Chain A
Amino acid sequence: MPTPVLMPQMGESIAEGTIVRWIKKVGDAVDRDEPLFEISTDKVDAEIPAPAAGVLTEIKVKEGETVAVNSVVATIGTSSEVSGQEPEAPPAPPPVAPSRDAVVPADVLDQPHEKTAAPQRKTNGRSATASKPVEDDSRKQRSSPLVRRIARDNDVDISQIHGSGLGGRVTKSDILEYIDTGTRDSGPGAREDQESRGPRIFEPGSRIPDPGARVEIKPLSVMRKKIAEHMVMSRRTSAHVHSVFHVNFSTVERVRQQKKAEFEQSGVKLTYMAFIAKAAVSALRKFPIVNASLDGDNVIYKKDINLGIAVALESGLIVPVIKHADEKNLLGLSRAIADVANRARSKQLKPEEVHDGTFTITNPGQFGSQFGMPIINQPQVAILGIGTIEKRPIVIDDAIAIRTMAYLTLGYDHRLVDGATGDQFMAEIKEQIEHFDAERL
């Protein structure tokens, strides 16, 4: 009986995926769970395993094509089955179940280094985010008297229209097409819709360079586009605030040196990240509000602690998730972190491994950053950024001492987490790291 192969859903907000490459050709025999094709959705460039064993009898979606999730992209049958047969069985479950989690990378590198000292509490978060996007940024879009007149009569925001004219000028045909195709968001209903679709990446002011400008124009990759959307969406959704703590890693460093060899025997490199993850897990257990999310008028407390670990890729960022991180000891965490990082880089992550995160750790320090101001990975409410870990002079008992130090930053959503809570959470992490109990390994 032929098994239809479906485009997996990578997250609730993801509606479609692009087939980047077919690993198997029509007629190839496949084992269950053997990589079948490579997709690019959201920020995952993932190899998708075959849902059943058999022979790849038909490929319905060519490389480079984008289809909605749960679309049938291929059929696996027996070698005798002819290509083109209608799948008769109910669709096999996609390799991944839809999740609430929109995967947002904790990209700390491209965000403005600003500290929102006194973020406004938005009593009505939804409508606040649904209002005109980034009004501050709405640099005047070039248009024409006619376009402005049409915009006025039709209540259209010109800054939302992509201009095809010289220098990105919005022309009559641009605005008429915009109105005709209904791409504009008129009325509150449409606003909601727009919001759920995620904000536009191209903010007002994005322009086509003049013909002849010395530039090269390349389309965004699927991953880049999704990252861009999620980043902007997160900034608009959450009231970001950041707290920075200076943490002494000398104890951890000592333990790490002691246990390194022991861990390596188990095939695992003992990294600072594992210690930090362990400390974060303890702190999250103590402050469940940081391991929560906000949904309208409700707070959703997550019972599991699923740690997202941001991994930089050549083409972007990905945040694989270590599920039930609270059930793992230091060795287990080390192993899990190394495993997901490696597989992220080799595109071996399974789609379900990039969502359901409840808290994210990102490590700009690996590139030398003293500290970062990470953007929250929605719908989570906090993200921990690790600055570079290095020896610094610090004052201990009125003497200058050299210690292994790092700045840790917590980016958190002030809608849900107050400064006091955020700082107490960080103090707990600091405490855990500075007084790491080697016995707890």
Chain B
Amino acid sequence: MSKSFDVVVIGAGTGGYVAAIRASQLGKTVAVVEKQSALGGTCLIWGCIPTKALLEHAHALKVIQQASEWGVTIPSGTPAINMTQVHARKDKIVDGLTKGIAFLFKKNKITWIKGTARLAGPGKVVVFEGDTQTLEAKEIVIATGSSPRSVPAVTIEHTRIITSDEAIHLKEVPKSLVIMGSGAVGVEFASIYRRFGSEVTIIELVNRLVPVEDEAVATELEKSFKKQGITVLTGTKVTKATSTPSGVTIEAQTPDGKTQTISADMLLVATGRGPVTTGLGAEEAGIKIERGYIKVDELYRTSVPGVSAVGDVITLGIGVHPQLAHVSSMEGIITAERIAGKAVQPINYDHVPGCTYCDPEIGSVGLTEARARERGHDVRIGTFPFGVLGRARMAGELEGFVKIVADRKYDEVLGVHMIGPRSTELVAEAVLALRLECTVEELIKTIHAHPTFSEAVGEAAHAAHGAAIHM
């Protein structure tokens, strides 16, 4: 028996479920195929939500650890973290949010078909789980996402050598943890487990942390990490990792060419995420694949008419496609609207905000200073440290800064990079500034409320034009 829908979405992550809801809002009949027992995909179940929940726990612990500074008396000894309680709270949050999506599906009359999907010829999707069923679809949207990926030298065995999928569920805080890779996943888990009490070592292949961020941000993060007692090994390559019943032994080649052996309880591999297309039959269906990713055009059409793809599984064929929940969901919306015949415009990937919730947190959008120079801009920079602000002093959050990268010729704001308190929230102003093609002058003339952390944005704009007021 086959069921027929206007749109069949494969994958219920942020790309897929948002596309489904939008398509349904636009009057389409929609089914979503999802193999997991809950909706929400990586973001809700393994990624953004659980990790940020853990980071909030880490932040709570941090504040409590500084209780005496705040004049808060804690009667019995040192504050400690109870992982059972942490996971219970985190899981409750995840559970609540996945149910929220189930509710949204019901509200929008979206059919959730549990199972693994396979493309089966034009307009046909076969779902395996128990009975095989065939779905007929006028339009198919692939949103199968990504999963953690290792490097050749390291075999993940999920006990001692783990990925973020396991790192969110650790029943006990490892005494020592080595993290491979210093992208968002790596530095966030470094912050979490360092705060929870682990000895943390970060090994990064390139010569600095958070390689996608502005260099000044990376330097500031490294400074802070070192202060917090995190060992940072940049320019270092893991050549071997062996797990034993008691731990893991890692061999790494340092920048001077020497081999260093590190022992730890666990190794977290955070070297990136690869596309999930297993069993999908994309290639057999004639869909063009590039380095494992599904190739799409700027409006997310694959090489096969009637089949679109969004989110972590795609490549646009230009640069690196950001694997971010908010990017996937925007791509899902654009795709649904295009399918429904609405006029849509492609995303400007220079305007995608990046938020990393390590401590201190990072928010950024647009070109880094280095990238701006590469593109031939006559760059000018304005930087303002949070520590000067009254609000930051009250909060006891003195680290970090806001850095504005601007083009001198037309005063265009090219990028805004911030590290420090509330940066992941403050970046929203910068995203709007880039989207609306703001000049530094406009940022200067924008009134920033006092006392707030956002004053740093206005001051950084002043700095870009010569001098900040409070410096």
Contact = CB atoms under 8 A, between A and B. Distances in A.
A117 B248 CA distance: 95
Interface stretch (A32-40, A81-89, A139-147): A139-147
Interface in A191-223: 208-209, 211-212
A146 B343 contact: no
Interface in A163-210: 164-166, 171-172, 208-209
A212 B441 contact: no
Contacts of B343: 208-209, 211-212
B442 interface: yes
Nearest to B340: A212
A146 B439 contact: yes
Contact of A166 (B337, B345, B410, B437): B345
Contacts of B442: 145
Contacts of B438: 144-146
Contacts of A153: 409-410
B437 A146 contact: yes
Given A145-B441, A147-B437, A172 B344 contact: no
Nearest to B334: A211
A149 interface: yes
B342 A172 contact: no
A150 interface: yes
B342 A171 contact: no
Given A145-B437, A146-B438, A172-B437, A211 B410 contact: no
Contacts of B436: 144-145
Contacts of A150: 410
B376 to A, nearest CB: 13
A171 B348 CA distance: 12
A131 to B, nearest CB: 27
Nearest to B337: A211
Interface in B409-445: 409-412, 436-439, 441-442
Nearest to B441: A145
B439 A149 contact: yes
Interface in B333-362: 337, 342-345
A212 B437 CA distance: 23
Contacts of B412: 146, 149, 172
Nearest to A213: B343
A153 B342 CA distance: 36
A348 to B, nearest CB: 40
Contacts of A164: 345
Nearest to A146: B437
Given A145-B442, A172-B412, A212 B345 contact: no
B411 A149 contact: yes
B410 A146 contact: yes
Contacts of B409: 153
Contacts of A149: 410-412, 439, 441
Given A146-B410, A149-B411, A212-B337, A171 B437 contact: yes
Pick the most buried of A145, A149, A150, A208: most chain B CB atoms within 10 A of its CB.
A145
A149 B407 CA distance: 12
A164 B344 CA distance: 11
Interface string A299-332: 0000000000000000000000000000000000
A211 B299 CA distance: 14
Contacts of B410: 146, 149-150, 153
Nearest to A208: B343
B441 A211 contact: no
Given A146-B410, A149-B411, A153-B410, A211 B344 contact: yes
A307 B409 CA distance: 58
B341 to A, nearest CB: 10
Nearest to B344: A211
A208 B411 CA distance: 28
A212 B338 CA distance: 10
B411 A211 contact: no
Pick the most buried of B342, B436, B437, B441: most chain A CB atoms within 10 A of its CB.
B437
A158 to B, nearest CB: 12
Interface in B32-76: none
B432 to A, nearest CB: 11
Contacts of A145: 436-439, 441-442
Interface string B270-301: 00000000000000000000000000000000
A209 B343 CA distance: 9
Nearest to A166: B345
A210 to B, nearest CB: 8
Contacts of A209: 343
A221 B441 CA distance: 44
Interface string A127-161: 00000000000000000111101100100000000
Nearest to A152: B410
Contacts of B345: 164-166, 211
A145 B412 CA distance: 9
A147 B436 CA distance: 10
Nearest to B442: A145
Contacts of A144: 436-438
A217 to B, nearest CB: 8
A165 B344 CA distance: 10
Interface in B135-163: none
Contacts of B437: 144-147, 171-172
Contacts of B342: 211-212
A422 B55 CA distance: 85
Contacts of A211: 337, 342-345
B64 to A, nearest CB: 45
A312 B438 CA distance: 50
A147 B412 CA distance: 9
A147 B437 CA distance: 8
Interface string B390-419: 000000000000000000011110000000
A140 to B, nearest CB: 16
Nearest to A147: B437
Leading 6 A-B pairs by shortest Cβ distance: A144-B437, A146-B437, A211-B343, A145-B442, A145-B439, A212-B342
6 contacts: A145-B437, A145-B441, A145-B442, A153-B410, A165-B345, A211-B344
Interface of A: 144-147, 149-150, 153, 164-166, 171-172, 208-209, 211-212
Interface of B: 337, 342-345, 409-412, 436-439, 441-442
Given A153-B409, A165-B345, 16 more contacts: A145-B436, A145-B438, A146-B410, A146-B411, A146-B438, A146-B439, A149-B411, A166-B345, A172-B412, A172-B437, A211-B337, A211-B342, A211-B343, A212-B337, A212-B342, A212-B343
